[in-house]
Structure 1
């Protein structure tokens, strides 16, 4: 049983979510995707619908935050009270991620989890990417779209995820320097990518054991 906490950033259509769930299943640990929103909503008192509407989407409009804030239940904890709604939502999610990580090894998909846990010694952060043709095939199949519409959906979703990540962290989404490892699922395949991450976890655990010995 590993103590490693694996975070997965992913391009849309790269299979990152499927990889996260398969990885967690093989390790016998939990995978958190949209579950993070459920916990953040429960802990913060902000209604679930607001988390879903902000999910990996940057909302910088002051007017939008002002209007939507009337629908939240406050998140009255300390200094959060006077923040715009989009910042409240991010910080509530940030807190939820840290709380999940305290409970032990797990897989966390997206939502800037690598940034929230960057000081955690058990962290292994991975970014999953794939070539555009492979991503188009996956999205066209999963959403029953034409190739042209699938490509448009990929570009829009990637742009949202990138803007969200870049806005809330001090790193760049998809940049190799922002993660410990980057893997191409169109080269490795879904199962091959899972196996590659398992190998990385094994190496990380072995290094930790060797440090204790020496």
Structure 2
């Protein structure tokens, strides 16, 4: 199907609930289209562009901005300490990844996983934003299998990660995480499966390309 696409490489942003299989969908979609999937690869690109280490970005990315970080520190701290108090590591990581996302979008296509990419690229009419969700049972089973953990631990992990993702997205975006106003399409991996979601996104890309050509 990718061969029939517009020759211009597509930009696709995948938001996802934890345990929904969103990352796997993004990877398979990128493979079908023959374009990069920017998940861990984005960390590498952001490190190259910003000068931060990949370890620093991995530890601080997709972390909700904490107002508490603005209130910490001694009022007589040195300039460097104060700078970190008012410009925390999570903000540094976000800025580094934001610049990388914008640079990649300007110079080619790709599938972006999370990291508020749909909001960062919201001014581009060639970007398709998708949110992947799933019912609780399927998410718990996937997290249990992937992390080799029990049901209670998996459920708590899902709740914690999704809570952090929502706080992160809602802080940096003008819209809200997991709500229809923030995306072009929302798909249930419980209903359609991983491969089904990939095929539906590909079909949506074709329909959008046809609609764009008719305008």
Question: How far off is 1:16 after superposition?
Answer: 0.3
CA deviation string 1:117-158 (max 9, x = no partner): 001111000000000000001000011111111111111110
Q: Which residue of 1 aligns with 2:118?
A: 114
The alpha-carbon distance between structure 1 residues 25 and 157, as it changes in their structure 2 partners (threshold 3 A), is same
Contact in 1 for aligned 2:61/2:90 (Cα 8 Å): no
- Structure 1: distance between partners of 2:88 and 2:134: 35
Partner of 2:44: 38
CA distance in 2, matches of 1:176, 1:99: 27
Give how far 1:59 is off: 4.0
Name 1:181's counterpart in structure 2. 185
Instruction: Tell me the TM-score normalised to structure 2 length.
Output: 0.86
Check 1:42–1:176 CA distance in 2 against 1; reply closer, same or farther (3 A cut): same
Alignment of 1:91-102 (within 5 A): 91-102=95-106
- Residue by residue over 1:64-117, the C-alpha shift from the partner in whole angstroms, topping out at 9 and shown as x without a partner, is 8xx9x969xx9xxxxxxx844332221121110011112222110100000110
Measure the CA separation in 1 of the matches of 2:80 and 2:58. Answer: 16
Gaps of 5+ in 2: none
Matches within 5 A, 1:1-214: 1-2=5-6, 3=8, 4-60=10-66, 61-62=69-70, 63=72, 83-211=87-215
Q: How many residues align?
A: 199
Distance 1:135 1:36 in 2: 25
Q: What's the secondary structure of 1:29's corresponding residue?
A: coil
Q: TM-score, normalised by structure 1?
A: 0.87
Which range moves more in the overlay, 7-16 or 99-108? 99-108
Any idea what SS the aligned residue of 1:126 has? strand
Would you say the 8 A contact 2:61–2:94 is kept in 1? Answer: no
Q: CA deviation at 1:164?
A: 0.8
RMSD of aligned alpha carbons = 2.1
Counterparts of 1:180 and 1:193, CA distance in 2: 14
Kept in 1: contact 2:60–2:89 (CA 8 A): no
8 Å Cα contact 2:63-2:90 kept in structure 1? no
Paired residue for 1:79? none
Residues 143-186 of structure 1, C-alpha deviation per residue, up to 9 Å, x if partnerless? Answer: 11111111111111101111111111111110111111111110
When structure 1 is superposed on structure 2, of 89-98 and 46-55 the one drifting more is 46-55
